[in-house]
Amino acid sequence: MQKRTLGKSNLEASALGLGCMGMSFSYGPPKDTKEMTALLHAAVERGITFFDTAEVYGPFLNEELVGQALAPFRGRVVIATKFGFDLDPDLDPRGIKGLPGLNSRPEHVKRAVEGSLKRLNVDTIDLLYQHRVDPEVPIEDVAGVVKDLIQAGKVKHFGLSEAGAQTIRRAHAVQPVTALQSEYSLWWRKPEQEIIPTLEQLGIGLVPYSPLGKGFLTGKIDGNATFDSTDFRSTLPRFTPEALRANQALVDLLGAIAKRKNATPAQIALAWLLAQKPWIVPIPGTTKLHRLEENIGAVSVELTSDDLRDIDAAASQITVQGARYPERLEQLTGR
């Protein structure tokens, strides 16, 4: 597995990370702990060193799973987690329904970090993201409290998630930002307009989540797909039958290139991301070993400048249908 450095920081990660959310949250009921532990071990054995979780995934269950599963590999892996939702770490997660409101008040951030340290069973959090920008708390205050936590040895690196360019700049002026996590893929390219140039200028890495379009870019979901009410894709405008059918052209494009390269559509989608910048580390999520191995195979797929030009030219003719989030969730992004 190749390694990459996130921006100008000294944070080194495997070129491909593993998003752990779906093991406990959003895609149906939490998966079997034993099976997910085996999958996390398999990821480490195959060279993945970068794992993504958050206190809100579960809530709390995902951090516990990741912390326990990766305990034998301390010092060999990088674990990223997130704060920013109004959760009480003392509550039983089974009683928490729906997505809570935002809370990035400094005292709450400190309390959230203590909870994450305990659940992850670590002395220091490798990379700590603000999960969503809280409009009620100046970003300077958030960056300031993370700076204090770094000086106290409880956190190594500061990150933001789905933040706007001006917020990134303001935060970075107080405490250097190591990475921005945001959705980015062939079917969500908005970060190219303002975010990626800002990151390049400031020397900040990009960690794309949903690099496979929440499964759509694998080619395994078509217009007849249905999603259980426990699967959050059932609430997304981009996953209505009409939108899925309209967006099939993008999967067809990936499939055509995949045939040429003796790869799969998912591998082409990931290879395309890896080819954009050397400081981009995608974090595809999966709960299946064969998918993990397929994703890792993307690192070996070489896309030439001609391939990339062909993909861009063809993709520019396709208009992706459907908003990526319902309005309430979209309002939490780009602040």
57 annotated active-site: yes
Distances in Å between the Cα of 135 and the Cα atoms of 55, 104, 142, 186 are 20, 9, 11, 29
Spatial distance between the Cα atoms of 25 and 57, rounded to a whole number of angstroms: 5
Spatial distance between the Cα atoms of 160 and 82, rounded to a whole number of angstroms: 9
The full 3-state SS of the chain, as one line of letters, equals CCEEECCCCCCEEECCCEECHHHCCCECCCCCHHHHHHHHHHHHHCCCCEEECCCCCCCCHHHHHHHHHCHHHCCCCEEEEEECECCCCCCCHHHCCCCCCECCCHHHHHHHHHHHHHHHCCCCEEEEEECCCCCCCCHHHHHHHHHHHHHCCCEEEEEEECCCHHHHHHHHHHCCEEEEEEECECCECHHHCCHHHHHHHHCCEEEEECCCHHHHHHCCCCCCCCCCCCEHHHHCHHHCHHHHHHCHHHHHHHHHHHHHHCCCHHHHHHHHHHHHCCCECCCCECCCHHHHHHHHHHHHCCCCHHHHHHHHHHHCCCCCCCCCCCHHHHCCCCC
Kind of pairing between the strands at 155-161 and 18-19: unpaired
Give me the catalytic one of 57, 129, 184, 209: 57
Contacts of 326 (CB under 8 A, 6+ apart): 235, 236, 237
Query: Which residues does the annotation mark as catalytic?
Result: 57
